[in-house]
Structure 1
Amino acid sequence: MTIVVRYFASARAAAGVDEEKVQLPSGASVADAVSELRRLHPEGLPRVLDAVSYLLDGVAVRDLGRVLVDGAELDVLPPFAGG
Structure 2
Amino acid sequence: MMLQDSSNLKKTVVDRLSKAKRTLVHVGRKTVKATGWAIWVVGTAAVTLVGPVIFHYDKECHILDLQHQILQAQQSASVPVLN
Q: Return the structure number with greater helix share.
A: 2
Task: For CA contacts below 8 A with separation 6 or more, give which structure has more relative contact order.
Answer: 1
Query: Which entry has the higher C-alpha Rg, 1 or 2?
Result: 2
Specify the TM-score bucket, using the shorter chain as the normaliser: under 0.3
Return the TM-score normalized by structure 1: 0.18
More strand by share: 1
